[in-house]
Amino acid sequence: MSMKAKKPTKWQAILQEAIRNSGMTLSRISERSGVDHGQLSRFMRNERNLTITTAEKVGTLLGLELTKKEER
Tell me the average pLDDT across 59-72.
85
Q: Quick check: 6 pLDDT over 90?
A: no
pLDDT in tens, 33-49: 999 999 999 999 999 99
pLDDT of residue 72: 63
- Inter-residue contact 36 to 30 (CB < 8 Å): yes
Q: Domain residues of the chain, as ranges?
A: 15-61
Entry pTM: 0.83
**Distance between CA atoms of 49 and 25, rounded to whole angstroms?**
19
Q: Is the dihedral of CA 49, 24, 13, 62 positive or negative?
A: positive
pLDDT in tens, 45-63: 999 999 999 999 999 999 9
Can you list the alpha helix ranges (DSSP code H) found in the chain?
10-20, 26-33, 37-44, 52-61
- Stretch among 4-8, 26-30, 58-62 having the lowest mean pLDDT: 4-8
